[in-house]
Amino acid sequence: MNRQSKGFTLVEIAIVLVIIGLLLGGILKGQEMITQAKIKNAIADFSGISAAYYGYQDRYRAIPGDDPNANTRWAGAVQGDGNGQVAGTYNNGGSGCPTAVVDATPESCKWWDHLRRAGFVSGSGGGNPFNAVTGMIGVQTGNGGGGATLGIDGSGTGGFAGLIVCSANLPDKIAIAVDTQMDDGVPISGTVRGLLQTAPNPATTNPATSAYAETGTNTYLLCRAL
């Protein structure tokens, strides 16, 4: 007896391919929306910290973290030395800032405690906040002691010598978009500088990276002058 083989018709195959195409398109669109949201969050981090800094200065005529009168203003607060610089590094030597602030705590960590006590930043204590990709956010002055950082060569020439805010572990696509939207899109120039990371939450070493490379795996530390 003859047996009739059964299979999918061309119409059925076409319908399946259309459905697969729609699903893939939705997934890719969703991923792009997530990336755009992270870009906006990273930009908002820089803008929000800048606004908090200037708000604190306007209210107290002092720099958070360096404020010499913080201990008289709030019970339990630890004052800075009032020399006009925020001593310490944004990542506190790579370990991050402790929540409990004591006299020996760097001013870059007292910065967060002062801003939080003043109501400019949510939370309490001196611990670092984190960005949308779990990278550490922090502040420092130059290399932590008034020197230049993220310069155009190994000596720090043309680098930041003033107060900067840094955000770490930013994927290449996000870092490029943030620098482009906030500055000139070049990691070695302007008010936003970038450093290609070889480890999470790295130090702000010299020189800055000469150009961004969007490989899908690169991550960057971005720092912006305040």
Q: Which helix (H) or strand (E) holds 118?
A: helix 107-118
Q: Is 85 exposed, middle or buried (0-12, 13-18, 19+ CB in 10 A)?
A: buried
CATH fold of 12-225 reads TcpA-like pilin (3.30.1690)
CA distance 187 to 179: 7
Q: Per-residue pLDDT for the chain (226 aa), expressed as one digit of tens each?
A: 565 556 667 777 788 778 887 777 777 667 788 899 999 999 999 999 999 999 999 999 999 999 999 999 999 999 999 999 999 999 999 999 999 999 999 999 999 999 999 999 999 999 999 999 999 999 999 875 556 899 988 878 889 989 999 999 999 999 999 999 999 999 999 999 999 999 999 999 889 999 999 999 999 999 999 9
What would the DSSP string read from start to end of 131-144?
-TTS-BEEEEETTT
If you compute the radius of gyration of the chain from its CA atoms, what whole number of angstroms results?
24
Give the pTM.
0.86
What residue ranges do the domains of the chain occupy? Answer: 12-225
